[in-house]
Amino acid sequence: RWFTHFYVVSVLWNGFLLICLFQAEFLGESLPSWIQDMHHALGRDSQSKDMGNEHFSALLVLMLLWLHSCRRLAECLWTSVFSSGVIHIVQYCFGLGYYIAVGSTVLCQVPANVRNGKKLSVQICWYHIIGVMMYIWASLHQHRCLAILANLRKSRSGKVVSLSHSVPFGDWFESVSCPHYFAELLIYVSMAITLGIHNVTWWCVVMYVLFNQALAAVLCHEFYQKNFSSYPKHRKAFIPLV
């Protein structure tokens, strides 16, 4: 349940960055000086070649990241039913820092001076369309899977009746034990596509999400197998057929 704090921070911080970038791109305003200093500290050259498409891609990805955080926050507050599980203080602090860093990573994909005050000309490309469609598809499945998990602990009337673990069925649960983790990976891949596919920095973020979610999925898969003798043997841990 403490993951809720991560999404509160992400909604506030990444929403602030989204507003700053939007004002810089469309209203011709400059980014705050401390953000430009952060760009410089992270190695982003303010005199980098001005690529309008990259600017719009970064703005779009930052918006998708913010929307993802909003949805996850809403699910934590009104959909998920949490047990009494705890989180390590190191993991908690790292999680808070991650959601601050990931938005800053998107912002650093554009020069700090942001087109020298010139307004952005929006250019929608094929990879924007594919990325956004994949984002919507993965987000819908992630929400469905989280709802399935929550409903395992509720009665038909919607009242919470148990905090114990049960075997989920339906949607992508028919293929993997943790489809919500797999959907999370797909969401980050969709953002990589939206950035233009070639962005090495964001693919590093995708690799982090892959290993992070895979580890959690394997541990969860082993828990199911250990505690439920009739657990479906055809199910994989994380990625279908793998």
Q: Return the pLDDT at 228.
A: 97
Q: What is the mean pLDDT of residues 197-225?
A: 96
Q: Are 111 and 44 in contact (CB under 8 A)?
A: yes
Q: Does residue 117 carry a pLDDT above 50? A: no
Q: What's the pLDDT tens digit per position in 56-98?
A: 899 999 999 999 999 999 999 999 999 888 899 999 999 999 9
| Angstrom distance (rounded) from CA 111 to CA 116 | 9
Q: What is the mean pLDDT of residues 116-132?
A: 77
Q: Are 73 and 11 in contact (CB under 8 A)?
A: yes
Residue 82: exposure state from Cβ atoms within 10 A (0-12, 13-18, ≥19): middle
Residue from 183, 189, 184 nearest 203 by CA: 189
176 beta partners: 236
pLDDT category of residue 116 using cuts at 50, 70 and 90: very low
Q: What's the pLDDT tens digit per position in 25-59?
A: 787 777 888 887 877 777 665 545 555 577 889 99
Mean pLDDT of the chain: 90
Q: Are 139 and 132 in contact (CB under 8 A)?
A: no
Q: What is the mean pLDDT of residues 139-150?
A: 98
Q: Which residue has the tokens 């590093």?
A: 204
Q: What is the mean pLDDT of residues 181-195?
A: 97
